[in-house]
């Protein structure tokens, strides 16, 4: 059992663990509780209140783990009345990782250890605790809170929910009650037996079992009513002689006429040897002949199986062989096909006007009497192997409110009840359904929801009852038919002779998604992997149906029969009589109990659970919501697919839309093999963009389809259902890039035609890891996956192959071909490389080095001084804030400590930046690089019994409070050991000596040193700094002077100068990808500029951006290890732009022009390019942290050290720092600053409005800015 708060990286944990519970309605939704739910007091035998608290933490963690289907959960924990240093209620995060094999006692011990560790920081309060780093901010975003109260029967819970929301608005109140039932069961069981396994607590408990028995007839289940289907129908044939039995567009047939005609055909069947257990194949299109043949087979004592003529010949042959079919009844049109199938063929006419043609005189043999166990019919359902599975039904009909297995049951029921069967022809069914239903006066019918969407209720005045089956029902279906018919949904299966779950839909509110209630038999929700284990109520599981109307077997398929038709589990046998005829059917459907009335909700099919980005996605909800924003669409299907790249690319949520008005359809498809996907038109793209924008307002990000694909026609299965499989397979042939870009304006592929274009294409594909010859020369670099960081590497890699262009030119040129045109081919005879020649010039810091050597501090010696230069502005800021960051790496495997220490020394010897110290000198801070530094290396032994990673985390946080002296190396290596072969390597870095843009290089370099494989450093930080100094040119200051002319710093309203205490306001959003040629950083700056305009009223906006300046013209600069961040101004004049896209282009164009001068520091700019006071500071600064994943450290012997959660120091920035951090699907937003500078509510609104604006901008880049709804 592990309870932890410091080991999992936030970027992954935040999106896969606690974010699952509960799913927010949309990213910027602020929840509000609507109901208070109270669990009656329990009588629990626990020695101390403290122990009870541990039991409650364990129980609630297990409930959340069960309902989120995750082994890792997060919630808030508080002891009512405990205060922070500021007098607020103390609330801290509880991060829990399940170990199913652990005992309850072991779990309790782990929880006690966690509380011991976390209590050290409780006095800080959650806000201050979260300032210790990004991961701690993420842990502070829990979405439910467990409050412990001692001696109080009532807690004013709303006072907590306002700040730490446990919201029952996001969960139906009944679902919360269901969770509390499970909590009660787990709590009681864990206290009763602390030696039990945690895994055992996740089964059904006493209270849950009691509720299940109430829903399933309280243990007095009775399902023994046996009615002979053939007897019911025979009785109607003899009783309702003149009543209409069948009607078609060609005429009608009374029950007496049906009886006579079917008797004639049955005589022929008996004469061919049809007896009980033998099957008659019925091969005829929709006509009266099918009904006559069905009744005739029953009269002859045989069973029947429909052989639809539309099926492929091979499939029909397989069905005949599997049943096996004794004889085939076929009309004349299908006779040639029937004769290819193998069994003997009898021709039956299908002319309703010739009722006696099939008479052959008296039967030579009387029909053999049948028994209830004899088969009545077989129905073929689709098989996972591609072959049909035949299901045999017994001659038992269980009476219920409504019936199922459409093509058979609707006819059997109609005849048994004396109703009239209205039979359309195949042509009418496909082309004139509405007209035929009206002309035949149909009043009752089964239809699939997708088929009803082609009908108009106003044109069907005779239709009184409509049963929807075979597909999920959507809100739009209910709205459409409410007020016109009695509307029901019916759940059944081919393996059942009747319906099991029926739901009346008329008058239900939207989104009442459930299958309904049990009509016969009983329903149980079991473990999908072990049907003998019941699931707790409210938990997802496989639907197990108990009924006496279950099929006998799968024909000639013993293995599948044994897996599907199962014996009742032991717990069911214990509550049923020994002679109970009921059997059990594993449906393969994933369901859960929806509420405390016993309603069952369908979630999906077992084997292809619909999960996206770690989240359960209800496809029907996405489809319904998307359809509501696409009014002209005839069909919307949402599914998960894996592209042609397979496992290398993650599953993608994709929507398919059939809207004939948006693309041309040249004709009906001959088969589903034809191209399903339609081309994307301008009108279609515009509609999809609008719909996606609306989806983001009402659905969480993981439920937004990554792409919405148009389809030419609706593919269907052989049984007429919408074929999701065909759509998914069609889209899966595309790569992920093709899927995501399907709705982008696509230029045809253009191959390179010049040497420069060939180099550029090759470098681009290598850099972005794209297939060879996949990048067109008419593509934009940012459109094919590039960003501002890779743009720098593109320039460097191209130069290494002899092609020279600047990073600014990458931003400025619209296509790769235009970039190739402006680039230059370098040659050996062209003279010195302008990118390296300046490095050979005189050291620009020589003067200050000499001055420093002449006035050395006593602690230093001249022979150990390698270099001296002024500390950069950003370095100085981080030094003043004591920004120390510590990275723990868990070592897995044998460790050579001596080699580890030698690797550390090698690393510090190679990288002079970490041999630097910071020394005050004549009013400024100098960075002094020493020639030699002894390895700052320490070994520690953790106390016995301590969780090593937790202990290291506590050690790092404690040492963080001690500011390391700047006049000695700030890099430090620590090796902590727990038990044998259990180590954590702790790397301490000063943010004045590195930034996020080089941490990957640090990891790679350390690995090389540890394995004694280190090479030369391409561009030392000292070389980089000297080149930045040479870039302080008149041209640079002129550029910034022109940009800042007439500008004023845009300032947000402050309530005070604030306190030197950091504060973070956090949010998140899910923006779409930027338009072609625009980076996400550009969109973020645009959104922040717009927020500043709206909040201050100033249309000429000026703020800062902190950027990575490794794009300078210097070989190897992109891999420099050191602090290379710098803050430069961004100016936006809103009067000069009309649309969002104009704004993007203006900001990105300004950025491209400034790249050559981005190393000029702000104070230098103010002094040399403005008339402002030297103390002028930017009010807000934007930093977009697009940092690649950090690889594990590699040690000798293929041993790896994986990084845990870093311990950061959060500074109290004087300027408002807007930090954005991209995850796999969400963008984390943090507004960082000083306490009491901004009003807290105003700061929260700033974050929310920024997220909203960014989403709007990227959803609708062509919208005029002044048409957007103002934010104030």
Is the pLDDT reported for residue 642 higher than 60?
yes
Q: Which residues contact 1042 (CB under 8 A, 6 or more apart)?
A: none
> Residue 263 is part of a domain; what is its CATH number?
3.40.50.12780
Give the model's pLDDT for residue 700: 65
Give the model's pLDDT for residue 340: 93
Question: Would you give the end-to-end CA distance of the chain in angstroms?
Answer: 49
Q: State pLDDT tens for residues 37-58.
A: 666 556 677 777 788 888 888 9
Give the model's pLDDT for residue 549: 76
Residue 311 Cα to chain centre, angstroms:
38
**Separation between Cα atoms, residue 193 and residue 634, nearest integer Å:** 57
Is the pLDDT reported for residue 645 higher than 60?
no
Last residue of a domain, which of 989, 1019, 1049? Answer: 1019
> Residue 773 is part of a domain; what is its CATH number?
1.10.1200.10
Task: Calculate the dihedral angle through the C-alpha atoms of 341, 347, 349, 354, rounding to the nearest 10 degrees.
Answer: -170
The two three-digit tokens of residue 1040, written as one number: 């910034």
Nearest 5°: the CA angle 250, 253, 257 is 140
- Surface-to-core class of residue 883, CB atoms within 10 Å of its CB (0-12 exposed, 13-18 middle, 19+ buried): middle
**Separation between Cα atoms, residue 977 and residue 1066, nearest integer Å:** 36
Q: State pLDDT tens for residues 330-360.
A: 988 899 999 999 999 999 987 665 655 555 4
User: Are 652 and 569 within one domain?
Assistant: no
Mean pLDDT score of the chain, rounded to an integer?
80
Give the model's pLDDT for residue 227: 60
Average pLDDT rounded to a whole number, residues 649-669: 66
Pairing of strands 465-468, 444-447: parallel
Question: Which among 898, 1109, 882, 895 has a CA at the least distance from the CA of 989?
Answer: 882
Q: State pLDDT tens for residues 500-540.
A: 678 888 766 544 567 877 777 788 999 888 899 898 888 88
User: Are 1200 and 1057 within one domain?
Assistant: yes
> Residue 575 is part of a domain; what is its CATH number?
2.30.38.10
User: Are 934 and 788 within one domain?
Assistant: no
Position of tokens 């062509």? 1262
**Separation between Cα atoms, residue 903 and residue 1005, nearest integer Å:** 10
Last residue of a domain, which of 985, 1019, 1053? Answer: 1019
Q: State pLDDT tens for residues 170-225.
A: 466 777 788 888 888 888 888 888 888 888 887 888 888 888 888 886 444 444 44
Q: Which residues contact 1022 (CB under 8 A, 6 or more apart)?
A: 866, 867, 869, 912, 913, 929
Q: Who wins on pLDDT, 83 or 365? A: 83
User: Are 1187 and 1249 within one domain?
Assistant: yes
Confidence of residue 609 (pLDDT cuts 50, 70, 90): very low
- Note down the domain range covering 517: 495-605
User: Are 899 and 1034 within one domain?
Assistant: no
User: Are 1052 and 1000 within one domain?
Assistant: no
| Domain assignment of residue 486, yes or no | no
Last residue of a domain, which of 350, 380, 410? Answer: 380
pTM for the complete prediction? 0.65
| Domain assignment of residue 418, yes or no | no
> Residue 726 is part of a domain; what is its CATH number?
3.30.300.30
Contact 122, 90 (CB under 8 A): yes
Pairing of strands 303-306, 251-254: unpaired
Q: Which residues contact 1142 (CB under 8 A, 6 or more apart)?
A: none
| Domain assignment of residue 544, yes or no | yes
Average pLDDT rounded to a whole number, residues 835-845: 60
User: Are 770 and 867 within one domain?
Assistant: no
For the chain, the residue count is 1272
Q: Which residues contact 240 (CB under 8 A, 6 or more apart)?
A: 255, 418
Task: Give the total number of structural domains in the chain.
Answer: 7
Q: Which residues contact 852 (CB under 8 A, 6 or more apart)?
A: 865, 868, 919, 921, 926, 928
Question: Which among 1229, 1152, 1192 has a CA at the least distance from the CA of 1011?
Answer: 1192
Q: Which of 232-246, 429-443, 552-566, 1171-1185 has the highest mean pLDDT?
A: 1171-1185
> Residue 19 is part of a domain; what is its CATH number?
3.30.559.30
User: Are 623 and 499 within one domain?
Assistant: no
| Domain assignment of residue 99, yes or no | yes
| Domain assignment of residue 388, yes or no | no
Q: 577 by DSSP, 3-state: which?
A: coil
Distances (CA, A) of 1029 to 807, 922, 1036, 1153, 1160: 19, 20, 12, 19, 9
| Domain assignment of residue 100, yes or no | yes
Query: Residue 162 — φ and ψ, nearest 5°?
Result: -65, -30
> Residue 948 is part of a domain; what is its CATH number?
3.30.559.10
User: Are 1050 and 1185 within one domain?
Assistant: yes
Distances (CA, A) of 1050 to 303, 1059, 1096: 84, 22, 8
Is the pLDDT reported for residue 2 higher than 50?
no
CB neighbour burial string for 172-197, b if at least 16 within 10 angstroms, e if fewer: eebbbbbbbbbbbbbbbbbbeeeeeb
Q: State pLDDT tens for residues 573-595.
A: 888 877 666 678 898 888 888 88
**Separation between Cα atoms, residue 653 and residue 10, nearest integer Å:** 24
| Domain assignment of residue 409, yes or no | no
User: Are 970 and 1079 within one domain?
Assistant: no
Longest dimension (CA), the chain: 130
| Domain assignment of residue 40, yes or no | yes
Give the model's pLDDT for residue 774: 77
**Separation between Cα atoms, residue 354 and residue 351, nearest integer Å:** 6
Is the pLDDT reported for residue 1193 higher than 80?
yes
Element (H, E) at 532: strand 530-534
Q: What is the 3-state secondary structure (H, E, C) of 366-387?
A: CCCCCCCCCEEEEEEECCCCCC
Give the model's pLDDT for residue 865: 95
DSSP 987-1041: EEEETTS--GGGHHHHHHHHHHHHTT-----SS-HHHHHHHHHHT--HHHHHHHH
User: Are 1056 and 1201 within one domain?
Assistant: yes
Distances (CA, A) of 569 to 544, 545, 546, 849: 10, 12, 11, 85
Percentage above 70 pLDDT, the chain: 83
Give the model's pLDDT for residue 907: 96
Question: Is the dihedral angle over the CA atoms 938, 943, 949, 951 positive or is it negative?
Answer: negative
Is the pLDDT reported for residue 147 higher than 60?
yes
User: Are 150 and 53 within one domain?
Assistant: yes
């Amino acid at each position: 059992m592990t309870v932890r708060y410091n080991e999992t990286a936030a970027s992954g944990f935040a999106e896969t663990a606690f974010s699952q519970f509960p799913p927010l309605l949309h990213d910027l939704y602020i929840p509000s509780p609507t109901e208070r739910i109270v669990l009656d007091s329990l009588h629990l035998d626990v020695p101390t209140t403290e122990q009870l608290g541990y039991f409650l933490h364990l129980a609630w963690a297990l409930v959340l783990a069960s309902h989120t289907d995750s082994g890792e959960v997060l919630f808030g924990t508080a002891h009512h009345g405990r205060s922070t240093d500021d007098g607020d209620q103390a609330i801290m995060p509880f991060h829990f990782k399940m170990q199913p094999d652990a005992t309850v006692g072991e779990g309790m011990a782990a929880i006690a250890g966690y509380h011991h560790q976390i209590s050290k920081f409780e006095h800080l309060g959650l806000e201050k605790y979260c300032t210790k780093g990004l991961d701690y901010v993420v842990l502070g975003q829990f979405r439910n809170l467990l409050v412990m109260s001692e001696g109080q029967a009532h807690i004013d819970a709303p006072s907590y929910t306002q700040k730490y929301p446990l919201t029952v608005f996001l969960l139906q109140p009944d679902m919360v009650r269901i969770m509390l039932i499970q909590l009660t069961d787990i709590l009681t069981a864990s206290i009763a037996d602390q030696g039990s396994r945690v895994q055992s607590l996740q089964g059904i408990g006493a209270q849950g079992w009691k509720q299940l028995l109430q829903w399933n007839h309280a243990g007095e289940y009775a399902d023994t009513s046996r009615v002979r289907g053939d007897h019911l129908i025979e009785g109607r044939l003899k009783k309702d002689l003149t009543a209409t039995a069948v009607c078609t567009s060609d005429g009608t047939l009374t029950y007496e006429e049906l009886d006579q005609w079917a008797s004639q055909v049955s005589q022929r069947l008996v004469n061919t040897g049809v007896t009980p257990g033998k099957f008659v194949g019925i091969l005829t299109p929709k006509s009266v002949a099918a009904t006559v043949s069905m009744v005739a087979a029953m009269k002859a004592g045989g069973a029947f199986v429909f052989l639809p003529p539309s099926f492929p010949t091979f499939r029909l042959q397989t069905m005949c062989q599997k049943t096996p079919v004794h004889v085939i009844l076929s009309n004349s049109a299908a006779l040639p096909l029937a004769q290819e199938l193998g069994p003997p063929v009898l021709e039956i006419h299908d002319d309703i006007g010739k009722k006696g043609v099939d008479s052959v005189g008296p039967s030579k043999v009387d029909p053999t009497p049948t028994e209830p166990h004899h088969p009545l019919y077989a129905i073929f359902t689709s098989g996972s192997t591609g072959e049909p599975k035949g299901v045999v039904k017994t001659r038992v009909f269980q009476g219920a409110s409504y019936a199922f297995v459409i093509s058979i049951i609707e006819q059997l029921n109609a005849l048994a009840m004396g109703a009239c069967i209205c039979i359309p022809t195949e042509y009418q069914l496909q082309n004139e359904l509405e007209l035929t239903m009206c002309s035949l006066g149909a009043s009752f019918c089964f239809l699939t929801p997708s088929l009803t969407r082609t009908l108009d209720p106003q044109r069907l005045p005779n239709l009184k009852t409509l049963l929807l089956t075979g597909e999920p029902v959507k809100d739009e279906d209910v709205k459409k038919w409410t007020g016109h018919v009695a509307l029901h949904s019916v759940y059944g299966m081919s393996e059942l002779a009747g319906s099991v779950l029926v739901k009346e839909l008329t008058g239900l509110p939207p989104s009442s998604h459930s299958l309904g209630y049990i009509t016969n038999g009983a329903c149980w929700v079991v473990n999908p992997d072990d049907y003998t284990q019941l699931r707790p109520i409210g938990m997802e599981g496989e639907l197990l149906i108990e009924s006496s109307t279950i099929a006998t077997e799968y024909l000639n398929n013993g293995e599948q029969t044994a897996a599907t038709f199962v014996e009742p589990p032991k717990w069911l046998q214990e509550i049923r009589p020994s002679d109970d005829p009921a059997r059990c059917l594993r449906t393969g459907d994933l369901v859960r109990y929806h509420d405390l009335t016993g309603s069952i909700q369908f979630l999906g099919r077992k084997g292809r659970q619909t999960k996206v980005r770690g989240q359960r996605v209800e496809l029907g909800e996405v489809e319904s919501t998307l359809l509501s924003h696409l009014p002209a669409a005839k069909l919307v299907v949402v599914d998960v697919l894996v592209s042609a790249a397979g496992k290398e690319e993650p599953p993608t949520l994709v929507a398919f839309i059939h809207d004939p008005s948006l693309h041309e359809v040249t004709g009906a498809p001959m088969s589903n093999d034809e191209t399903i996907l339609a081309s994307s038109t301008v009108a279609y793209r515009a509609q999809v963009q609008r719909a996606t924008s609306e989806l983001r307002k009402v659905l969480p990000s993981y439920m937004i389809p990554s792409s919405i694909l148009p389809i030419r026609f609706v593919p269907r299965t052989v049984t007429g259902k919408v074929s999701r499989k065909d759509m998914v397979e069609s889209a899966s042939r595309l790569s992920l890039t093709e899927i995501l870009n399907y709705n982008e304006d696509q230029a045809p592929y253009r191959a390179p035609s010049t040497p420069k274009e060939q180099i550029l294409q090759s470098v681009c594909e290598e850099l972005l890891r794209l297939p060879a010859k996949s990048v067109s020369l008419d593509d934009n670099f940012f459109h094919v996956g590039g960003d501002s960081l890779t743009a720098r590497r593109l320039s460097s890699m191209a130069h290494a192959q002899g092609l020279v262009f600047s990073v600014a030119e990458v931003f400025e040129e619209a296509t790769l071909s235009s970039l190739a045109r402006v680039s230059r081919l370098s040659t050996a005879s062209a003279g010195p490389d302008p990118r390296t020649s300046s490095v050979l010039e005189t050291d620009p810091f020589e003067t200050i080095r000499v001055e420093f050597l002449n006035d050395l501090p006593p602690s230093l010696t001249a022979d150990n001084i390698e270099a001296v230069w002024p500390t950069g502005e950003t370095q100085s800021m981080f030094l003043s804030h004591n920004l120390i960051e510590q990275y723990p790496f868990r070592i897995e495997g044998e460790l050579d400590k001596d080699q580890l220490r030698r690797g550390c020394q090698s690393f510090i010897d190679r990288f002079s930046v970490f041999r630097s110290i910071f020394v005050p000198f004549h009013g400024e801070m100098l960075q002094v690089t020493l020639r030699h530094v002894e390895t700052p290396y320490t070994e520690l032994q953790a106390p016995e019994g301590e969780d090593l990673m937790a202990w290291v985390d506590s050690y790092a946080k404690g040492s963080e409070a001690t500011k390391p002296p700047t006049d000695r190396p700030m890099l430090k290596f620590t090796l902590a050991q727990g038990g044998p072969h259990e180590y954590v390597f702790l790397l301490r870095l000063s943010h004045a000596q590195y930034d996020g843009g080089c941490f990957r290089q640090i990891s790679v370099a350390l690995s090389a040193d540890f394995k004694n494989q280190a090479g030369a450093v391409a561009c030392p930080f000292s070389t980089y700094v000297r080149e930045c100094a040479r870039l302080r040119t008149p041209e640079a200051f002129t550029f910034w002077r022109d940009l800042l002319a007439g500008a004023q710093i845009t300032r947000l309203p402050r309530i005070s100068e604030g306190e030197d205490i950091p504060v973070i306001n956090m949010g998140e959003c899910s923006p779409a990808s930027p338009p072609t040629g625009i980076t996400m950083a550009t969109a973020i700056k645009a959104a922040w500029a717009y927020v500043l305009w709206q909040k201050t009223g100033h249309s000429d906006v000026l703020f800062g951006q902190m950027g990575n300046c490794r794009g300078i013209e210097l070989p190897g600069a992109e891999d420099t290890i050191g602090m290379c961040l710098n803050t430069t101004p961004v100016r936006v004049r809103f009067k000069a732009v009309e649309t969002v896209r104009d704004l993007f282009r203006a900001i990105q164009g300004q950025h491209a022009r400034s790249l050559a001068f981005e190393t000029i520091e702000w104070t230098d700019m103010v002094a040399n390019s403005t008339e402002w006071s030297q103390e002028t500071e930017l009010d807000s600064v934007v930093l977009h942290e697009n940092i690649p994943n950090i690889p594990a450290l590699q040690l000798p012997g293929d041993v790896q050290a994986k990084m845990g959660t870093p311990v950061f120091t959060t500074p109290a920035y004087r300027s408002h720092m807007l930090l954005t951090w991209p995850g796999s699907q969400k963008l984390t937003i943090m507004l960082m600053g000083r306490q009491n500078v901004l009003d807290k509510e105003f700061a929260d609104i700033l974050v929310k409005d920024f997220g909203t604006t960014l989403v709007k901008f990227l959803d609708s880049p062509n919208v005029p800015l002044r048409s957007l709804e103002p934010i104030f």
